[in-house]
Amino acid sequence: MAIKKTTLFVVVFIMLQAVLMAKGCCPDGWIGSNCFCYFVNGSSEVEWGDAREMCQAMNADLAVITSETQNDFLYDLINWKMQDSWYGTWIGLERNATDENKFYWVDGTPLAGQYTNWASREPNSNAEKCGLFWGPTASQPNKWNDALCDFSIRVSEGKPKPLVLCQKAAESD
């Protein structure tokens, strides 16, 4: 009995520590993975530039996706938050204004040579300059599309609009 009680105490202690550490790492309401914290605004219907400003106002930026593992983690994270009913989210991917065949991430990294997850037949238009990560209710879920940056305000009332996915480095304290 005594041993069991000690074991239980140790387990609870470790769990509590994990929670406290996670709390020190990411702000409340943010989810941590791989040294980054993520925040999903599931009620937002803003255009890409306003989405970016929303993230920057929280000392963050739109999410930069560099691997399939991260891509799928974020897809699952938003599915969990939105209960599988979301159309897409803005990500920190933008078409180069002067060299329109190229894209770059908001941290300045050119997309060329990096992980990509474009939907088939995307990117498909130089007029579409902003990265949209498609959700379960879009035609190609879990894939990226180049969209009009003000797509969210062009879409008619009641139609699905992009969410906002913010990312920031976890604090090392």
- Residues within window 67-126 making contact with Ca ion, judged by CB under 5 A: 122, 124
| Residue 51 token pair | 């989405």
Q: Can you tell me the distance from the alpha carbon of 138 to that of 123, in angstroms, rounded to the nearest whole number?
A: 15
- Residue 40 binds to ligand NAG (criterion: CB under 6 A): no
What's the first-to-final CA gap in the chain, in angstroms? Answer: 38
Between residues 34 and 124, which has the closer beta carbon with respect to Ca ion?
124
Q: Can you tell me the distance from the alpha carbon of 31 to that of 10, in angstroms, rounded to the nearest whole number?
A: 25
Among ligand NAG, Ca ion, none, what binds residue 99 when CB lies within 5 to 8 Å by partner kind? ligand NAG
- Residues within window 50-69 making contact with ligand NAG, judged by CB under 6 A: 54
3-state secondary structure of 13: helix
- Residue 102 binds to ligand NAG (criterion: CB under 6 A): yes
Binding site for ligand NAG (CB under 6 A): 41, 43-44, 46, 54, 96, 98-99, 102, 104, 110
